[in-house]
Structure 1
Amino acid sequence: MANALLNLSIENNVSITQKYLEPGHTQMEYDSVHAAIEKKLKNREIHNPIDYINVTKEARKKPTPYEAIHVDYNLVKDYSDKSTWRYNFIRPGRKAGDPVVVSLRAIKYTPDSDGTMSYKISFDDEWTELPVRPKKLSSISYSNSHAAPIPIASTKLNHLQ
């Protein structure tokens, strides 16, 4: 995901900051969104997964309804191709005792010459560039994860019916 965000940063010439929650401080703006959707779902029957899109849109009227996007197989890309990775890892340290990936509190993706990633171990820290240089890549395109909808077993389909 980190490489995909860096490539997005470069492609759109924007800086992206990704923040990780600190343990014990997990309340986010989206908690209220989920609460509003759950409230709307109460005492309501869902017959089809697409019904969740309608419930999401109905969960808020003002200032505007929530936006819900129907995701299908065409929207899901394959980011596992290592030829699209500028960094093979995002560990901020190199040796034992140095910070590890789970120590990260923020990553900044910068669209400079080849795209760089900087990190913070604490939100109060200054940005520090990852100790690894990114690979130079030309234009990148991601393939779709699937060429068609993923089939489900007939027994499952019958059960769902």
Structure 2
Amino acid sequence: MARNVVITQKYLEKGHTQMEVDSVHSVIERKLKNREIFLPSQYATITKEARKAPSPYEVITPDYTFFKNYGIKDYLIYESIRLGRGAGDHCVTDIKALRYNPNGTIDYKLQFSDDFVPLPRRPKKITSLINSTPSLYESRQPISKIKYDHLQELKNVIPKDCHTFYDNLPFK
């Protein structure tokens, strides 16, 4: 909303699962083939290397601060995207596409060939809160002690210069 961008979200239909992004994943998977990966950051590097022209893929590596808590009702413009209210009415699983408009409204389609129609719900006006959505996490999320211990055991087959990453993983 702050950048005045319209976002269209399309849902796959059974039997029609090919998407433009499939080619991106294919290129990255080919680059990953027969490569040893010891750190998550290596995935970002390999993803950038996967395409040279017209330019390398842009990789954004989020950390815990990236994730916002959009589940707080006070921050929701719509409490539901359900189309109907009673038995026999269209429901969320009937939606084929959603369009999120910069003014905060949402439009939907029940068929890809249909025109977008406004969601039959009244949006709340909360534009002043958009940039202040609270973080979902206060710190890095810990893994279980068992997983931590298993990763420590794997250090026997991981290069020593990667050990610090595994040593510094938070666990509970």
After TM superposition, the score normalised by the length of structure 2 is 0.80
| Higher relative contact order, structure no. (Cα contacts within 8 Å, ≥ 6 residues apart) | 1
Distance 1:75 1:66 in 2: 20
Q: Which runs of 4+ in 1 moved over 4 A?
A: none
- Structure 1: distance between partners of 2:48 and 2:61: 12
How many Å separate the matches in 1 of 2:23 and 2:16?
A: 15
In 1, Cα distance between equivalents of 2:14 and 2:43: 30
Q: What is the match of residue 139 of structure 1? A: 128
Q: RMSD in angstroms over aligned alpha carbons?
A: 1.6
Give the aligned partner of residue 117 of structure 1: 106
Unaligned 5+ runs, structure 2: 153-172
Q: Distance in 1 between matches of 2:112 and 2:61?
A: 35
Shift of 1:14: 3.0
- Classify the secondary structure of the residue corresponding to 1:47: coil
CA distance in 2, matches of 1:153, 1:98: 44
Native 8 Å contact 1:73 1:148 kept in 2: yes
How many residue pairs get aligned? The number is 150
**What do the CA deviations read for 1:18-69 (whole angstroms, capped 9, x no partner)?**
2212221111111111111111111111111111111111111111111111
1:128 maps to 2:129: no
How many Å apart are 1:138 and its aligned residue? Answer: 4.5
User: 1:4-153, aligned counterparts within 5 Å?
Assistant: 9=1, 11-112=2-103, 115-140=104-129, 141-153=132-144
- The 1-side partners of 2:42 and 2:137 are apart by 24
Q: Distance in 2 between matches of 1:138 and 1:57?
A: 35
Question: Partner amino acid for 1:86?
Answer: I
| Partner SS state of residue 40, structure 2 | coil
- 5+ residue gaps, structure 1: 1-8
Q: Is the 8 A contact 1:92 1:119 kept in 2?
A: no
Partner SS, residue 12 of structure 1:
coil
Counterpart amino acid of residue 74 in structure 2: S
Give the fraction of aligned pairs with identical amino acids, expressed as a percent.
52
Query: Which amino acid in 1 is paired with 2:143?
Result: I
Mean Cα deviation higher: 34-43 or 16-25: 16-25
Q: 1:153 to 1:92 in 2, by over 3 A?
A: closer
Following the alignment from structure 1 to structure 2, what is the Cα–Cα distance between the partners of residues 37 and 67?
12
Letter in 2 for 1:118: D
Of structures 1 and 2, the larger Rg is shown by 2
Structure 1 length-normalised TM? 0.85
Counterpart of 1:159 in structure 2 is 150
1:92–1:99 Cα contact (<8 Å) kept: yes
SS in 1 for 2:44: helix
Q: CA deviation at 1:101?
A: 0.3
